[in-house]
Every structure is written in C-alpha cells, then in structure tokens.
Structure 1
Amino acid sequence: MGCIQSAPVAKPGGVSAAAEKAVKETKSTSHQAAPQAQGRDDAEKTPFDYIEELTIHKPVDAHDIVDENSARDEIITIRRYAKQYLEGMSALEESSDDTGDGVFKESHRGALYDKQDFTKYKKESYPKSDEVKAFIYDAIRPNALFENDEEAELVELIDLFKPVSKKKGQTVIKQGEKGDTFYVVQSGSLSIQVQSGKGKDTRVMNCGQYSKGAAFGELALIFDSPRAATITATSTCQLWCLERQAYRLRIGQLRYKEREDKLNFIRGCNLRGRNFCGIFDASQIEDLSCVVKTDKYKQGSVLMREGEVSDTLYIIRSGTVERFKRSHDGKIGSLNEGQTFGTNALLRVMPSPETYIASTDVVVYYLTHHDFETMCGTMQDVLDGRSISRSVMRTSSSKHTYKTSMTMDQRYTNVTIADLTFFNVLGRGAFGKVILVQAKKNKKVFALKAQSKHHILKKGQTEHVLNEYRIMKKLDHPNLLNIHCALQDDRYLFFLLDLHPGGELMTYLLKRKRFDEPITQFYAASVLVAFEELHMRMIAYRDLKPENVVLDKNGFGVLVDFGLAKEIDEGHTYTFCGTPDYLAPEIIRGTGHDWAVDYWGLGVFLFELTNGCAPFYATNQSRRTRKILKGYEFVDVPPHFSRGLKDLIAQLLENNPAKRLGRTQFGIQDIKKHSFFEGFDWKGLLEHKMIPPIKPSVPDDIKTLGKPHLNEDIFAPTPQIPEAHWWPNLETVEEEPDC
C-alpha cells in the first residue's frame, strides 16, 4: 500500500482547459522550443508545469508555428515531458509494496492479521468548527473507503481527525516508510515525489501536487505497507489527520452498536399481530437485520400511496406515520415506533391499501419482498412453519456421513519427540520448519510442524498459534488437514500432522498458467465440502488461496493452515485478516464479518484458477484495494469463462455479504446446486472414489521427499534459537475473546 490512493489533484485549468481558453486570446507571436522558468526553480517544477507553460497561451490550431523546425522542436519537448510525467506516475504505482502477487510470481502471498479490541476504546475528539467539519466531510465522502458509511458514522469519524501543521520543506510522508495516517489538506500545497532506481541510477520524479481539499493515504487506515511516494510541504500547510487505530476501533464500535440496536429493536416488533421472535428463529432475525435498510422522511413526506404497487415492508424506527384511505374520506389512524405497514408485500407484490404520510420526521427500516425471500423463503412458508432457516440447514448438514481419512480414535496421540525419526525438510515458514518424520513403532510418516516459541512470543502470536491448534483438534474430514497431537520442549511447539505429499495447488497453477474449468470445478468442490464442514461448526476459515490447498498422494485437494480460522456463532467478528488478493470488502472496511468472507474467497479462487491471476490483481496494494471496494462488476471477465462460471463468480463476489451466495437461506447448498457444478459427484469426492484431474509425482520412497537438512540442527537456524519460558497447557487450550 502506498500513500497515493487518490489521483494527484491537478491544477485548476489543466492543459485542455487552457488550450480552449487560448483560442479566444491574442495570437502568440513568439515560439520557444523549451519552456523557461518563470518564478519557480526548475527542480520544483513538474512535467505538468512544463506542459502548461508550453500550451497556456498557444492557439489549439497551432497557427503560430511558422516553420517545420519549430513544429518539430515543440512536439519533441511536449513528448519528452509527457513521457516523464507518465514514467513518474508508473513509478508511483510500482514503488508501492507489492506482496500480491503478480500473475505467476513464485512466492507465497503472506496473510495479514491485525486484531482490534474496541471494547475498551474511548473516543478522543478534537475540536473543530462546523465549517471545518463540513470541509472534511466533503473531502472524504467521495472516497471508496467511506462511501458506504452512514452520514452519522462519518460525523463520528470526523471528530477523530486531529490538526497537523507543516512548514515549507517539511516532509509529511516519506517513501518506503510504513504509515498509519490518512490526511486531508485544509490549506497550502504539497509536492508528490517518487524515487526509482538504485545507486547511480537513482532518480526522483515530480508527479504532481496536493492542494486544498485533497485527501491522501486512506489505505494506511487498513494495513501497514511502505508509502509509495514522498509528500513534502511546498508552502505552510494545515492538515487534518486520522490514525488507523482510532479509525478501526471507532468504526468497529459504531457497527457493533448499530447491529445490536437493530437486532434488539426488530426482536421487539410485531408483524401481523405476532412478535418477530414468535415468527422467526434467531438465525432468521439475524439474517433479516443484515438486509433491512434505513431511510429517513421529513414531516409531510408520503411514504406510500393508496393503489401504488409496493414490494416493501416498513418498520417505524422513530416518529409517527398517519394512515389515510379514500373510502374513509381521510385519516383512519396512526402508527408509531415499532409498528409496521406494507406487511402484505411480503406475501406478494400488490397495491397498497392505504396512504401513509409522515406526521413528524420519521426514520424507518425497510425490507423488500425479494430480500425477504432470499433470506427466509416465502412469507407463507414462514407463517405456516415450513420455512427452513440456516440453523435447520446446519443441523441437517451435520448429519451427513462420509468415509474419513481417519477417525478420532486413530489419531496418533501417545507419542514423544523421541518416538520419531527425522528425515528431510518439507518447507520453512515464519516461525520454523515443517519436517518429514516417521513413527519408529508403526513406520507411519507424518509432517511435523516445528514452531519457534521465541519467535511466536516475539511476534505476539501466542493466541494465534494456540487458536489454530484448538480448531484443528475439532476437525475430522478428508478435505481438511488433520492433526494428531501437539508436543513441546523449551524451544519449540510441534504439531504432528498428516502428510500430503502432492504439494501446493499453486505450484501446478504456476506451471500450467491457468486451469481448464473441469480442474477448477474439482478443486473448488474440494474447498466447498471443506467449507461445509467448517461452517457447520460455525468456523470461518478466512484465508483461502491456492497456496493453502495441498494435494494428497492421489491428487485430492486438502485445505491446510488454520492460523486465521475463527469460531463465529451468531454475530460478527472485527479482526482485520486475510491475504490481500482475497480480502472481502467488509474486512477492508472494518464493518464486521462472518463466514460469508469464505464465499467471497471462493469467488476469487474460481477466478484465479481459471484465469491465472486474481480478479482484483494490481501491481500494488493501493490499486488492488480500490478495485475490491469498487466491485466485481468493473472487472474484465476473460472471454473463455463459461456462462455458468461467470454467473457463479458474480454471485459469490457480491459486495453485500448478506446477499452473497452461500450466506442466503439454503446456505452452501445453493452453491452446490449451481449450474457450474451440474452433474458433479459430491459423494464420490467425499469417499475418494473419483479420479482427480491432477496426478502428483510422488517418489516411491516417501522418505526422500523434501530437501535434505545436510546434518544441520534440523530445528535451529543460525544463531541458535533461544529457549522461551512459555509452556501452554495443550490439553486445556481455550480461545480468547475476538472482537
């Protein structure tokens, strides 16, 4: 991510505007092949300045050009500075941290994790006039990060902006340094400079400037990443800044309170003479609270007219609404907070029997017929008790049977490090290594994940690591990595895992560039049945990507790495986590999420496997994040995608998580029944009776898998890993609260 999330603010009267103006002005009688500095040092001037000087007083028909040489000189000059400007903007993009991940980059895309506990946060406001508040509001309102925020939320966030003054020459942001601050320019101007190259090839490009009303650095509110440019005050500047921690904690508080208030209010409302809780179960009320929208009406406004076809139920949040009916020659009653009208619209779209007018200022929740049926089925089925809720679907899913790769009592638990023979290193990670080991007694081979306690403590990841273990202990599924036990000594925490020697799915994608749809279908189905098991247990995975799907010896896909997995009962969690290419909009915005983020991830996964790169791929974090927030409808879909694949991806990459396929009434079954999976043998997949489309090359002697450790201490790199005074009780690992 870099500091340039908004395009540099061009000076008023850009090249085209100046050219149009020049047509009306006096004809120029002089021609200069190169611009002359007028009041500014050449070192401070941008390519825009030069181009402006070349054109500001020149006629657009170029009748001032007197000969061929003059024409050539001017064209060369304009081209030179135009090229310089474009190179500068290109450097601006490329200089941003690029963890994602070019199309066939042979490196792991690291996941991000930033837990925020907003329960103890106390808002700190900074005084500002109403005029300044309005100024900041206008500056941030168009920004993609804030465009879904309610006006009241923006007002709350504006309170958090604090003033910063900079003198001419002072640096606000330095290229390459990590930042956590978003800025709005109230007065003054700032230059944008990008350094590219190294050593004697280093060059600094002037890429434009920021002036009054500009906003920059908003993606620093989302995650750490080196700044893309250096921003320096070119005059005395007054700025307003918002810091990441304050933003994420406050927006989390606001969204949590909004959700709880809405849930509690809806629970107390009546529909057709019955309390909501008597009609809907807890999961249905939760779902409805996610799709009802808020609207405001001024006193005297007509909410609905008699005879007008309506598909909407209204719930009065505050205020009073009067009812009128022609046959009664006027007012027939009034409705107050908690009461509803338009109830029949949930049964079928029909004309309104009455007119409803706000007798005071009114706030309403409203729910459309389509959204209701998407979440709960038909209203008649709900009233008759025939509706199937998510809680019922979850209970039904838990009853499915399949042939597992191992049962709970087959786990190899009664083992010590001394009972294992060590062979090659299978991989290296942030905290240690994965080693191929063999049990001395039964000769079974395993993968042993050795994680340095010292590094875990140093990075503050104790909860993170233990949460992974706690979740894995609960799982037993052929498409999920199984853990046998956890061991420890004074330096390492060990996980003894099933060995899947086929390698990462990403390795095969890199070799083939992209998969044909049958291959995509098979491995997406493998992920889907893994999600089915996780979501039945109310666990959100939160880190789907081809790197986290490994193949067993026969080519079946297995989901691994549960470091970001999280148990989410009813409600939302607010931790910022995931891999940049796969981040769902609700995670980026910090507005709360549940397992619906996994269905977003599945949409990205389908696209990446079939295309070779992710749908929101960009050369830097800034552009990638803007594309995600903008939405999938703006993504160029490859022409070789089938109609079924395109439709499935579009429904999974729905920006509103409540309406995302898989999060709706029938849950994951809606995805499994989609036309893209038509005819797929789900039972055969679970029982491993299918022939996988990829056959891994596995050595006959499995003990030769991996890379020899060449007689080094297989655990400790150099220098020796120090001891750590951390001995967690692995039998009683419990999850800490996650906001």
Structure 2
Amino acid sequence: MIKVAKYDDPHDACAAVVAESYRLWLQYETRTDDITIIVVHVNGLNQTADVENAYDAPLKSLPQVVEATGSESPFAITLNSKTNRFRHGLSRTQLKAIENSLDSAHTWVPPYASYRKTWEEEAHIERVLRDHFLFRRLTDSQNHVLLDCMQRMEVKPGDLVVEQGGEGECFYVVGNGEFEVVAAQEEGMEVVTKVLHRYTAENLSSFGELAFMYNKPLQASVRAVTPGTLWALRREDFRAILLSEFSNISSLKLLRSIEPFSRLTILQLSRISECLVEVSFSDGQKIIDKGESLSGLYVIRKGHVRLTFYIDTLSPGACCQFSCYLDKRTENQESHEHVVELTDGNHFGEWTLMGESVTSLSAVSVGDSLCSIITKEKFDSAVGSAPNHIKLQDSLGSSRDSVLCSDAITCKTITSSDLDWKMSIYATDCSEIGNVHLKGTDTIGCLKRFSRRKIKELGKKAQVLKEKELLLSLGGSIGVPLVICTFADQFYVGILFNCCLACPLSTVLSTPLDEYSAKFCAASLVVVLQELHKNSVLHRGICADVVMLDQTGHLQLVDFRFSKKLIDERTFTICGVANSLAPEIVLGKGHGFAADWWALGVLTYFMLQAEMPFGLGAENEAETSAKITSGILTLPQTFSTEAADFITKLLDANEITRLGSEGADSVKAHSWFNGINWTGVADGTLPVPREIGSRLEAFLQSRAVEVVEPALPTQEPCELSSPEWLEDW
C-alpha cells in the first residue's frame, strides 16, 4: 500500500503507483493489465500536512483516489475519519506468494558466492539498483542479501547473453563492456536483424526485468560487443528475497503438513499460526494424565512424546488418527495398553477440535520437548467450527466420519451385512470399488467387491485369487491401503481397505495440471513403483483410470488385476491398458519392470497435456500400437525443458536405455525432480498441491448431490458352499 499524498508533483505520484503495481506484478505474478490513476489537484493545499489534515474534514464532493495497490483494481475511498484506509491481514498478493512458498518442496538457501566483490563493484551495483523500481522498496537487509546473490559472469565479443525466442531467468547489471540489443524483424518479405539499443556500465545499464515476471519468449537478443562483465540475479533468488519478510513460513508449512489442516486456506492457516502457543516440557513431565481431557491439538516441534492409551475406549476421531501410527505402536499383553512414541512434526489431540473427549490417554515428555498448542476455542475463532473446515466435504454425508482402522474392529468379524454400500467409484469386468459405511458407527472405508457370477462366467478365479494375495501381501505399503479383512456372501467376495477413495485420477484431468501438481503425482508413483519392484511385483496397469485419489488427495493403488510376481526377469503375457502398453509388450518380445516406467511416461504426458501421447487405443488400437512401436514422439512446446526430457527418456522404445531400467533411483535423480522431498512423498507428509485439492473438492461437492443408494443386485445368488476356493476367502 502506498500514499501518494506525500508527492508534490502529480507525475511523481503516478510514477509511484505504476512502479508499485509493476513491482507487485513481478513479485507475485498478479496481473494488473490496466492501471487507472485519477489525481485531483486542490488549490491552496501546498504541503503534505495540509492534505493529511484534510482526511478528517467532511467532504461532499466525489471521493478521491489516494491509495492504490498492485494486487487490486484501482478503487476510490471517501476521505473521512471513518475510512479504513489500510488493509488488515494478508493481501491476495501476499497469500499467493506464501502459497507458492508452501508448495515449494525445498527451503531456499542463498547461492554460494564464488567470487568476492570489491567495494568498487558493490558500489557500482548499488548505484544501478538504487533508482530501479524493482528494488526501490527493499529493506537494507534484503539489499545486502541481494548483493551477495549477484553472480559474476564474464563474456567475450559475440557471446549471446539472452536469445530472442528463448526464456530468460536472470536480471543483469552491466559491470563493464558494451552490449547491444538485436532483434530479427520482418520488413516486407525479408527478415532483417536490427540493433535496437546499447548497454554500457557508464550509463548504469541493466536489463532482464521480464525474466522476473513470467516465462515467455524474449522479443530480442542481447549480445556482447566487447569483452565485459555482467552481474546476474536469478528469478528464484529474487522472489525468495522478497518473501524473506514473512517470518511465519515455517509455521505455515508445519500446519499444512497436518492432515486436518491440509484443506484450509492460507488465510485460515495464518490465523491459526497466530493462535499457536508454545509450551516446553522437561524429561518425564506429564503433558496429560489418564482421566483428564486434552485442551486442544498438540504439535510436537522438538523432542519426543510417549502416548499410552486403550484402543477400545478411543473415540472414532482418535482411533482414525492413531491408525497412522500403527508401525510405531507396542502393546502390553497383560494390561492391553498401547504405547506409541511420537517425534518432531507428529501431532495428537485432533479429536478435541471436533468436540470429542478422550480420557483414557496419557502423554509424557521423553527428554525435553516443545509443543505448539491450539485450543478448540482459539481454533473456532480463527476458522469456524471444526466439522465444516477440517473434513473435506464428501459424498458419504457425515462430516464426522472417520476411516476404518484395523484396531477398531479386531474383536468383530465384518460381513457384508455390517456394511452400507454408499457409492461406486470404479468398476472392471468383474469387480467394483466403492466406499462403505460401517453400520452403527461413524466409520467409513473402501470395499473392493467381486461379482461371484462374473468370476464364474469369465473364468477369472485364478486372477481374483492372485489379486487378493497381492493386496494382502502389499497392503499398508507405500501407495497401497491396508487390508482390514476379506469376506464372502451370496453375491460377492470382498476386500475391505482402511481408506476412503474419492475418484480415479482421470476424473480431475479434464484439463492439464500445472507442472508442480503433475510432478507431485509422478513422484508419488515413483515411490510406489519402487516399493512394488522391490517386492518383485510388476504392475502393468499404471494409467489415469486405474490410479486412485483418496479424499486427502493422495494416490492409491487398489487394482492389481494385470500385476504379476516376477520370478524370472521377464514375462511374456500380453496384458494391460492398450494406450499405455510398452513397445516390448505390444511386440510380444517379453518384458520386465521397465514396462511400468514407460506407463509412467505416458501418464506424465497425459497429466501435463490432458491428451494421450499415442492416441486413444479404444478408437483405433492398431494405429495406437503402430505409434507406440515406432519410437516417434512429438512433445508440445508448452512442456518445460526438464519435463520434456523426463518424458522422452521414459518413453524410450529401447527398454535397455529407458529411464528406470537401472532402478527407481535413476528416475528420482532426474533434474525434473530437483528439490522434491522424497521422504515427504514416501511418508505422505508432503502437502497435496492446491490445484489437485481444489479440483478434488469441486468433484466431491458435485458428486454429493448425485449420490443415491444402490439398488439390490438383480442376479441370482450363488451357493455359498460352492465353489471350494471360497472356503478360505
């Protein structure tokens, strides 16, 4: 926000507004295409003080524009004592900047200065930047960091610094030498190269501002005329310096990583961050004792906390939360107490924000620890009541539902009569996947049920049994939900999972994803495939229709009908999704794990383009197969260099040289994944990108209106005693 009243000359006031708007555009990529400035000159008001005193005077004339921001359309305000002339809270531009920072997978670190600047060089750079509108409003500390980030660049005559048609990523200050701006322009039927401008150190020249705005083709080239020196500032460093004024980024990142808060807006997270209270605990100090109720949500910032509880007395919300700590839990066989030790970044007490009380829990600090606490009262005042904000609105109705956890039902055998089928999410030739509600509870889960009649008619007995065994062996691993139980009735055989699915990935891909969202999904599948291949499982079904999104936005695999446990290095069965088949499968040459990496390449292309790279097999399978085996791939120019290289190397027709043929680590090491937090991807703590979350939420809200209870099956029931293979199901 700027005040123009301090300027004596209206031209200076206009220049200040434009400069601030342009700075915000560069900083936050908030477009302000049209800036309208109205300056009213009042005779007799010669001093700034006169103008400021006029704020409290009653005015009957039209309101004057005295303030403007680059993130809003120009607006008018009435100059009186009740006018709220300053924005309270975060502006839209600040919210977007923080959002970009939270979605970033790594923390910015200033680049190492390989060359120490002399005081003359620093003074020259400061003179150039002093009156430049981009840097005019930086603080002294930001200017010091910016100066350190300027990297020395030596050039020879004829060197191209930036090239017409390319994408710039740096801002340059001319240290010494002469540079010319050249552009190829059409004159009649010819293309003529013209020199448009010259830059020199004597003129305090600089160039490259557009690199800080967006990645668009440059309209001219800059070429060195003489030997010279440039000082370069990268876009990434500039934006990080601008963001350095936000001191609560780390708190917002921590809050975003907590599942109940992953769907909240940045503004809501910021309000919660302001309500957090930090409390220190010494070794052995009781945080909460049995018989007492927690006052709020506890987030462990440092140290360890040991929780002791009885699983049978937990509320549904608490049971749901503790299901994610199953691998850390131990059980006292005599007292039946469960013990789990939590560490940095873990949290407990989520149920308090939903109004639930648990008195069978005790918490003790192990060593010195530090927790951030927010009470239900503070939470409600910051974002409203918990059920409306914590739980993603879903098609199952109740916002208080929790996901099935195995401990919640260890003493009870689940049958089909215990479940209410709510909605179908995905179907194959003989199976159907949907969400179910456990009767008499607030618990939901995912059920994969196979039609007994279809199994018999299609001869799928062996395939169904193989898929069941794979799901049981892989359940609970990365990207594969845990199997709670299996059961059979007159119509179906079923597998119950401890997750709540939302839709196939293809549902949110009607338009291309932004690159970071596509990268998030691809990275998630890389760690899933790494785990499958480590267990000798070839999937052969990776595609947008088979990969599922759960209601938190994370990817899950529950369809293993094409999968196979590889005993040898190759298998020769031709199966899979037609437009995602690798060339070696199509040609029947035998295939191995490299076929899964090809499918990942096809899916990555689809996520970024919303089209298949080789066409739709359903329309013309022969033509699609020919394109796949030809080895010819055309990529859109909209793909970034790194994304194009990643896809090209995955869609290598030669499986020996294909990216991934040497294992998942080679895929992780590709430059497209630079900065990805692989640990966060594997353990599910990396926040789901906002674009995926917003698309998923829009789908679920629309689906909630459409859901109806399914009709009873019309097929004739099969005898439960036959066939024999059902006895051990």
Please report the TM-score for the alignment, with normalisation by the length of structure 1: 0.40
Which structure has the higher relative contact order (CA within 8 Å, separation 6+)? 1
Please report the TM-score for the alignment, with normalisation by the length of structure 2: 0.41
